[in-house]
Amino acid sequence: MQRLSAADIVGALEALAQRLKCRGVHAELYVAGGAAMVPAHGSVRMTVDIDSSINSGYQEVIDIAHQIAAERGWTSTWINEQATVYMPAAELRTGPVVFDHPALRVVAASAPRCSR
């Protein structure tokens, strides 16, 4: 399985945002785990995926993520909601904004919540 660096994550989010913009869609993600630690908290470790809760624009995010995966040779689950069961309730999902684009806003779990 591929390992995603901070540069990989940011590059993929930029590609996702541009394509969402072209479709006229605004999406919001809440990320935890390695994807939150790498860009938001200065971690140098890499991650294999982006554990997220897709709060808006779900189908478009998934469709575009699959396209990006195919283009980059990544697994189709590089962005997924498999860890949502471990995330706090929606009203408690707060943290720093780690990516802000007119078509995509990404909030990272605060440091104590990242590794749960």
pLDDT digits (tens, 9 = 90+) for 57-99: 999 999 999 999 999 999 999 999 988 888 888 888 888 898 9
Q: How far apart are CA 9 and CA 38, in angstroms?
A: 9
Q: Is residue 1 part of a domain?
A: no
| Residue 51: domain span | 6-83+93-114
Q: Is residue 45 part of a domain?
A: yes
Q: Is residue 88 part of a domain?
A: no
Structurally, how many domains does the chain consist of? 1
Q: Is residue 56 part of a domain?
A: yes
Say if residue 54's pLDDT is above 50. yes
Q: Is residue 67 part of a domain?
A: yes
Say if residue 48's pLDDT is above 70. yes
In order of 68, 85, 93, the CA distances from 8 in angstroms are 11, 25, 24
Please state whether the predicted TM-score (pTM) of the whole model is above 0.75: yes
Looking at residue 105, its pLDDT comes to 97
Higher pLDDT, 70 or 43: 70
